[in-house]
Amino acid sequence: MEFLVTFALDIPAGTPKSEINDRENAEATATAELAAEGHLLRVWRSGAPGEATIIGLYRAESKAQLDCVLSSLPLADWMHVIVTPLESHPNDPASREPAIANQLPDPRLSLAYRLDATLAEPIDLGDRGQAHRRIVALTGGTFTGPELNGTLLPGASADWQIVLGDGTALGDIRYTLQTDGGDLLYVRSRSVRHGPAEILARLGRGEDVDPGLYTFRAATQIETAAPDLAWMNRGVFVSVGGRRSGGVTYETYLVA
């Protein structure tokens, strides 16, 4: 989703110039990070110097995620913010531009399956330099999809996880699925889970948190010896994750 965001800055009277400079420098750094993450697309200034209104074009998966992004800005408590959700219009000139001869096709996603898995308590291996290693076993679960249904096999499924100092979790997730027809799937995902510090702290405490408030994505590979599912060996897959109390959910999509 895209949003038009208008900022009006109201600096409290008597604020030291040094604090203003520090916050403005921190804001510039945070803005660059949001642009790199794909949240901030464009930014403009409207009005005379000293009375300017800032207008930004933002992208987020939900209004809740955008609110979390904006509240983390260094100048957030000095800002009056108006957020306007944007939708495409049929008269948009860009939508009527002729196709370029060498333009590549847009990727399309189709759901392969949704897995709801239960988790064991993490095995904590401790710190290793700037990161923390732990192993989280997947103890059971079921998966459903347009063409696939079955169960997760415990004892052959776990997440070998590295947690960085800022709370970002890098996952090496490997699990085994058995379809209702008895076919086996070996799945391996390389995942990244990151977000605002307070959201990651809530996840660390085992709380249920809206998945729209953080990012949990994975590149996924699937192997199988089942002839009817051989297409999965050639497929490119991506997964979206959501952590919940005592468990985790993965939705895995085929990229076409």
Question: The domain that contains 66 carries what CATH number?
Answer: 3.30.70.1060
Q: What confidence tier does 239 reach under pLDDT thresholds 50, 70, 90?
A: very high
Tell me the pLDDT tens digit for each residue of 26-60: 888 888 888 888 889 998 887 766 566 889 999 99
> Which of 86, 120, 135 delimits the end of a domain?
86
Q: Tell me which DSSP letter residue 15 carries.
A: -
In a domain, residue 18? The reply is yes
182 pLDDT exceeds 70? yes
Q: 8-22, 138-152, 181-195: which has the minimum mean pLDDT?
A: 8-22
pLDDT average, residue stretch 199-218: 91
Amino acid at 42: R
34 & 152 share domain: no
In a domain, residue 95? The reply is no
What b-and-e string marks burial along 157-168, b requiring 16 or more CB atoms within 10 Å of the CB? bbbebbbeeebe
Q: Tell me which DSSP letter residue 245 carries.
A: T
What percentage of the chain has pLDDT greater than the value 90? Answer: 56
123-128/131-144 β-pairing: antiparallel
Q: Is 79 helix (H, G, I), strand (E, B) or coil?
A: strand
175 & 132 share domain: yes
And the tokens for 226? 């089942």
In a domain, residue 104? The reply is no
121 & 156 share domain: yes
The pLDDT, as a whole number, for residue 213 is: 94
Report the alpha-carbon angle 244-216-35, nearest 5: 140
CATH number at residue 212: 2.40.160.20
Q: What confidence tier does 133 reach under pLDDT thresholds 50, 70, 90?
A: very high
The pLDDT, as a whole number, for residue 48 is: 63
77 & 115 share domain: no
| pTM above threshold 0.85 | no
pLDDT average, residue stretch 149-172: 94
The pLDDT, as a whole number, for residue 82 is: 92
The residue among 135, 122, 148 whose CA lies nearest residue 251 is 148
The span from the first CA to the last CA of the chain, in angstroms, equals 22
Residue 70 structural domain: 2-86
In a domain, residue 209? The reply is yes
In a domain, residue 102? The reply is no
40 & 114 share domain: no
157 & 219 share domain: yes
117 & 82 share domain: no
240 pLDDT exceeds 70? yes
98 pLDDT exceeds 70? no
In a domain, residue 93? The reply is no
Domain count, the chain: 2
118 & 237 share domain: yes
Q: What confidence tier does 10 reach under pLDDT thresholds 50, 70, 90?
A: confident
113 & 233 share domain: yes
118 & 77 share domain: no
93 pLDDT exceeds 80? no
Q: Which residue has the tokens 């992208």?
A: 59
Higher pLDDT, 130 or 114: 114
> Which of 26, 55, 86 delimits the end of a domain?
86
Q: 4-8, 139-143, 181-185: which has the minimum mean pLDDT?
A: 4-8
In a domain, residue 164? The reply is yes
Q: What is the mean pLDDT of the chain?
A: 90
The pLDDT, as a whole number, for residue 241 is: 96
> Beta-strand (E) ranges in 27-101?
40-46, 53-59, 79-86
118 & 245 share domain: yes
209 & 241 share domain: yes
pLDDT average, residue stretch 162-183: 94
pLDDT average, residue stretch 125-139: 89
In a domain, residue 80? The reply is yes
